[in-house]
Each structure stands twice: as structure tokens, then as C-alpha cells.
């Protein structure tokens, strides 16, 4: 019988107490998260009591399937529990100051996961809470997503160093996280967007400066074919993110030539995979033929959200015993 472990061996710990944005994670942090995720995935039963007695608060201002389910299942499958706090209305900070929310939650739970519109809201929570805060998506970054994505690519290709990922579509939160974490991991990232929808210059600059240390290349181009040339992975996301639904009609026209089709996939490496964070709008940013093709890794990405988020919970919530 496999012994039930209550603690993960202590290889080292993360350099951060919170996960607010991708820029905060070092290469060592990324390596550690992937190593723990790999162990959790290989032997989930060994961690069945690792978070016994630990509680997590999950604040969501926006809808979620994957992030919420993976955190809740992650906590309960390791002996802990999670409480969902619906903040779609009113939003965080509207009923009472964010610092008061932080100070109440820290009396009841061991960690906070938060999905907000304003990135500053998650930062403010972390500033005032003495317990770890994890960004579950803001308008600026989606770190949990891309940790799962690069873990998926690492499983597929064995090593990440030297790979090229092409991102085609809107220069949004997912694109920002891919740029920064890709650069840190030595993965070249080439982004193709319509004019006016580029990733923020500040984030591209940060990724470029990180890439100088890792040998990756960070590139923004107009032509999707140029972006995908030589790439091992082609990634896209919705054209209108949560909160931008009002502009969906206009965006459909602007982004029409940025759809990931079989023809565009053919411009990548012959072994290239297709990736999407989901939810997807088939027939808009990607055709059904591509998303349902054998190249598509979308459900592996979704599965790995669980393993990676379990690793984050272990590393951040286990009170120094990881």
C-alpha cells in the first residue's frame, strides 16, 4: 500500500509568499512548481492529507469553470476545503474596503484565490492579508493558466528551452502571462495582433528584458503567418475577454483575419500543437476543425490546471512545511 504523506519533501520553497503576477516568479520558482506538479500528477493519493485542516477562500468577480473547479477539487482532494465567495455583484471593494476583506478572511482561512477585473484589487488584497493570495485572473495577467500551459508543453516536448510559441489574436491577460513566463523559461514568444490590440508595451519590454538572460526571442508582428513560422505551438484566446462583451461585435470584424485555421496551422512546424486557455468561441478565434484536431492540446491544458494549482496550494498554503 502506498503510504499517505501529509507533507511533501522539502526541496526548497518559492521566493514569493503570494502569486500576483508572472514577473514575480524566478526560474527556480517555475522549476519547483513544475516538479511538485509532476509528483502530484503521478501520485495524487500520496497528497490526500497534505492540506488537512486548511481552508481556501475563492473570490470571483467574473465567471469561471476551470480555475474555480481546479482550486476547489485541488483543496478537497488534499484534505482541505474551499469556500466560494461570489463577488460578481457587488465587486470586491464596493461593499467594504479591500483591506477590511483581507483582514477578515485571514482570521478564517489559510489562503485567498481572487479573480478580479482590476489587477490592483488582487495586489491590494495581498498587501493587507497576512495569508497567501493567488491571482486567479485579472485584466492584466493569468499566471495559473500559463503555468498549466508550459507544464503541458514540457510534458509534450520534454524540454521547453529553445521552443517557439506563437500567439495569434488579442494582446490580453493570457498573452501577457505567456510573454513573461515564456521569456523566463527560455521559450521564444511571437505575438500577432491587429493594430491597436497589441500587448501592453510595458509587458513586452519586461519580457524582452527577461529574454536577454534566457536566450529566448520576444517578437510582436502584424502577420499571423510570420508569427507561426517555425513555432512548435500555436496559441489563441477569445477576441473579447470577460468585461469586453459590449465590443464583441466590432472585434469580430477587426480580428477576422486572425482566426487560427488549418491553413495557418500548416505554416507552423509539422509537429506543432494547438493551444487555447478556454472557453473558446469556435468559428471565431479558431475553427472547429483545428480545435477538434489531433494537434489540439486544449483538454491536456485543462487537466494540468488541476495538477499545477495543487502544486501552488502545497507550496503556498502548507505553512513552510513544503
Residues that bind ligand CP (CB under 6 A): 64-67, 137, 145, 277-278
Q: Active-site residue 145, yes or no?
A: yes
Q: At what angle do helices 298-317 and 143-157 cross, to 10 degrees?
A: 120
Listed in sequence order, the residues at least 6 apart from 19 whose beta carbon sits closer than 8 Å to its beta carbon are 25, 132, 133, 134, 135, 143, 144, 312, 316
Compare residues 62 and 310 and give the one whose CB is closer to ligand NVA.
62
Give the active site residue among 54, 66, 110, 142: 142
Q: Of ligand CP, ligand NVA, none, which one sits near residue 138, judging by CB under 5 to 8 A according to partner kind?
A: none
| Contact yes or no for 15/315 (Cβ under 8 A) | no
- How far is residue 23 from each of residues 20, 176, 203, measured CA to CA in Å? 9, 10, 9
Shorter beta-carbon distance to ligand CP: residue 144 or 216: 144
Nearer to ligand CP, 33 or 322 (CB): 33
- Active-site residue flag, 142: yes
Q: Of ligand CP, ligand NVA, none, which one does residue 287 interact with (CB within 5 to 8 Å by kind)?
A: none
Active-site residue identified among 115, 119, 184, 295? 115
Query: Which residue number places its CB atom closest to ligand NVA?
Result: 241
Q: Let me know if 305 is a catalytic residue.
A: yes
Q: How far is the CB of 223 from ligand CP (least distance, A)?
A: 27
Of 32 and 308, the one with the shorter C-beta distance to ligand NVA is: 308
Crossing angle between the packed helical segments 27-42 and 298-317, to the nearest 10 degrees: 110
Q: 104 an active-site residue?
A: no
Picked from ligand NVA, ligand CP, none, the partner binding residue 236 (CB below 5 to 8 A depending on kind) is none
The residues that bridge with 80 in the sheet, in sequence order, are none
Q: Please state, in angstroms and rounded to a whole number, the distance separating the CA atoms of residues 82 and 316.
A: 15
| Interatomic CA distance for residues 51 and 167, integer angstroms | 36
Residue 195 CA: distances (Å) to CA of 140, 172, 219, 240: 19, 13, 15, 15
Interface positions with ligand NVA (CB under 6 A): 137, 172-174, 237-238, 241-242, 277
Q: What secondary structure does DSSP assign to 11-41, as a single string?
A: S---S-SSB--GGG--HHHHHHHHHHHHHHH
Catalytic residue among 54, 237, 251, 295: 237
Beta bridge partners of 275: 235
List the single partner that 29 binds among ligand NVA, ligand CP, none, CB under 5 to 8 Å by kind: none
Residue 65 interacts with which of ligand CP, ligand NVA, none, CB < 5 to 8 Å by class: ligand CP
Closest separation in Å from C-beta 151 to ligand CP: 14
Nearer to ligand NVA, 129 or 227 (CB): 227
Active-site positions read 115, 142, 145, 237, 277, 305
Amino acid at each position: 500500500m502506498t503510504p499517505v504523506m501529509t507533507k511533501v519533501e522539502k526541496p526548497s520553497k518559492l521566493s514569493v509568499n503570494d502569486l500576483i503576477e508572472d514577473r514575480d516568479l524566478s526560474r527556480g520558482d517555475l522549476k519547483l512548481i513544475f516538479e511538485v506538479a509532476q509528483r502530484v500528477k503521478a501520485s495524487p493519493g500520496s497528497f490526500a492529507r497534505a492540506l488537512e485542516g486548511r481552508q481556501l477562500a475563492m473570490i470571483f468577480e467574473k465567471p469561471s469553470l476551470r480555475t474555480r473547479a481546479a482550486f476547489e477539487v485541488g483543496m478537497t482532494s488534499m484534505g482541505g476545503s474551499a469556500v466560494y465567495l461570489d463577488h460578481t455583484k457587488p465587486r470586491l471593494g464596493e461593499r467594504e474596503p479591500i483591506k477590511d476583506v483581507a483582514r477578515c478572511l485571514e482570521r478564517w482561512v489559510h489562503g485567498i484565490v481572487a479573480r478580479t477585473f482590476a489587477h490592483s484589487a488582487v495586489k491590494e488584497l495581498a498587501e493587507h492579508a497576512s495569508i497567501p493570495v493567488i491571482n486567479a485572473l485579472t485584466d492584466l495577467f493569468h499566471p495559473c493558466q500559463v503555468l498549466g500551459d508550459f507544464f503541458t508543453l514540457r510534458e509534450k516536448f520534454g524540454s521547453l528551452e529553445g521552443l517557439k510559441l506563437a500567439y495569434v489574436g488579442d494582446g490580453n491577460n493570457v498573452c501577457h502571462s505567456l510573454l513573461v513566463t515564456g521569456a523566463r523559461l527560455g521559450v521564444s514568444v511571437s505575438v500577432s495582433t491587429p493594430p491597436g490590440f497589441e500587448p501592453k508595451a510595458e509587458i513586452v519590454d519586461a519580457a524582452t528584458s527577461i529574454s536577454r538572460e534566457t536566450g529566448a526571442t520576444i517578437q510582436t508582428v502584424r502577420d499571423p503567418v510570420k508569427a507561426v513560422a517555425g513555432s512548435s505551438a500555436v496559441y489563441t484566446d477569445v477576441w473579447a475577454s470577460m468585461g469586453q462583451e459590449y465590443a464583441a461585435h466590432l472585434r469580430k470584424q477587426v480580428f477576422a483575419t486572425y482566426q487560427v485555421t488549418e491553413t495557418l496551422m500548416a505554416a507552423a512546424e509539422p509537429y506543432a500543437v494547438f493551444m487555447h486557455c478556454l472557453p473558446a468561441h469556435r468559428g471565431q478565434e479558431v475553427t472547429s476543425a483545428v480545435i477538434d484536431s489531433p494537434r489540439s492540446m486544449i483538454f491536456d491544458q485543462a487537466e494540468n490546471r488541476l495538477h499545477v494549482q495543487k502544486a501552488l496550494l502545497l507550496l503556498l498554503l502548507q505553512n513552510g512545511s513544503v
